[in-house]
């Protein structure tokens, strides 16, 4: 059985990868890239939600199906707490991904007190009449007690239940095609942002301590997600040189994320986004 490889702040990629592998499909790498989830971010409103993906769950799954040339690979249901019939789920004995769950109470994670921008998806399966989950922060085979089901729905009107359909032929993604689609999505996202309301981080200088921590996690999530695209680029030898520039920006951004250097953070994020759009998109167009 495939289990999580590393810790992140956004767990959609790991959960979907586990679902595919454990449904007897070939392991698919770079899911956040081929789904375009890490090409678009929401940077407005409450700081607790900054830099979460701007691509919806259904859009993400459709993008994966398109990249794999596999229509109807996924089936998706919206489940309210009332719809969450555990007996029916156990009876079907079918693995699924559930999310975005609330981990503030169910998993009691400290970062959840400050940051809600991450997408908490969990891989679920039944065994011996019990529901088990692989918890994305590193706790595999966690049995969920019936009294805790409601905690997954805290402050959620519904959750997505994602299943994989069997016997669907899939093809390896075309790397250049994926890269071009990702960069076009990044450009559309970048151009739609209002510099004053979304990228002017100097306005954050009067934040309280809790907001400062929230902002730090938000920028950290951006850095983790955008790094996935540069790792994707490194797999294409013609783009290795481009990755060196990013690593310089990323190293500095990582060092100052929690140090209140808001104007410099603003500049570095703009530089990274603009570098992707202006330099690399031009090469693949």
Which DSSP helix (H) or strand (E) runs through 126? Answer: strand 122-127
The pLDDT value given to residue 32: 94
Most confident of 150-154, 170-174, 256-260: 170-174
Integer Cα distance of 225 and 10 in angstroms: 8
What mean pLDDT do residues 242-260 have? 84
- State how far the Cα of 79 lies from the Cα of 55, in Å rounded to an integer: 20
Once rounded to an integer, what is the mean pLDDT over residues 60-70? 96
- Name the residue with higher pLDDT: 13 or 155: 13
Q: Is the pLDDT of residue 200 over 60?
A: no
Which H or E element spans position 115? none
In the predicted structure, residue 26 carries a pLDDT above the cut 60: yes
- Coil, helix or strand at residue 15: helix
pLDDT at 196: 37
- 21 CB-contact burial (10 Å; exposed 0-12 / middle 13-18 / buried 19+): middle
> What confidence score (pLDDT) does residue 140 get?
60
Residue 213: predicted pLDDT? 86
pLDDT digits (tens, 9 = 90+) for 169-193: 999 999 889 998 998 898 888 765 5
Query: 35-49, 145-159, 258-272: which range is least confident on average?
Result: 145-159
Instruction: Give the pLDDT confidence score for residue 203 in this predicted structure.
Output: 59
Query: Taking the model in full, what pTM does it have?
Result: 0.87
pLDDT of residue 161: 92
Tens digits of per-residue pLDDT, 218-238?
A: 888 889 899 998 888 888 766
CA distances from 229 to 29, 72, 183 (A): 12, 26, 10
Kindly tell me if the per-residue pLDDT of 1 is higher than 60: no
Q: Between 197 and 52, where is the model more confident? A: 52
Q: Which two tokens stand for residue 148?
A: 């805790």
Query: Which are the contacts of 78, defined by CB distance < 8 A and separation ≥ 6?
Result: 158, 159, 160, 161
Q: What percent of the chain has pLDDT over 70?
A: 76
Question: Sorting pLDDT into bands at 50, 70 and 90, what band is 216?
Answer: confident
Place of tokens 């921590």: 213
Q: What is the pLDDT of residue 74?
A: 97
Query: Residue 157: pLDDT above 80?
Result: no
| pLDDT (average), residues 74-90 | 83
Tell me, what's the pLDDT at 182? 92
């Amino acid at each position: 059985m495939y289990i999580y490889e590393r810790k992140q702040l956004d767990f959609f990629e790991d959960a979907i990868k586990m679902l595919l592998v454990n449904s007897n499909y070939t392991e698919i790498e770079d899911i956040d890239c081929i789904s375009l989830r890490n090409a678009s971010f929401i940077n407005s409103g409450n700081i607790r939600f900054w830099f979460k993906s701007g691509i919806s769950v259904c859009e993400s799954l459709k993008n994966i199906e398109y990249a794999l040339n596999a229509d109807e690979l996924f089936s998706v249901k919206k489940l309210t707490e009332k719809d969450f019939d555990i007996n029916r789920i156990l009876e079907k004995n079918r693995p699924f991904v559930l999310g975005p769950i609330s981990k503030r109470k169910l998993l009691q994670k400290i970062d959840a007190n400050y940051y809600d921008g991450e997408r908490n998806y969990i891989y679920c399966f039944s065994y011996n009449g019990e529901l088990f989950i692989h918890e994305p922060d590193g706790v595999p085979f966690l049995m969920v007690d019936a009294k805790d089901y409601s905690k997954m729905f805290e402050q959620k009107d519904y959750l997505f239940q994602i299943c994989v359909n069997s016997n669907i032929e899939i093809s390896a993604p075309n790397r250049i095609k994926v890269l071009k689609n990702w960069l076009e999505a990044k450009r559309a996202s970048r151009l739609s942002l209002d510099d004053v309301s979304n990228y002017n981080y100097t306005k954050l200088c009067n934040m309280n301590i809790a907001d400062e921590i929230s902002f730090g996690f938000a920028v950290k999530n951006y850095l983790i997600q955008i790094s996935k695209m540069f790792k994707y680029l490194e797999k294409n030898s013609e783009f290795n040189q481009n990755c060196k520039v990013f690593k310089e920006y990323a190293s500095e951004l990582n060092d100052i994320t929690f140090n209140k250097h808001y104007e410099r953070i603003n500049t570095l994020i703009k530089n990274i986004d603009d570098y992707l759009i202006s330099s690399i998109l031009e090469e693949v167009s």
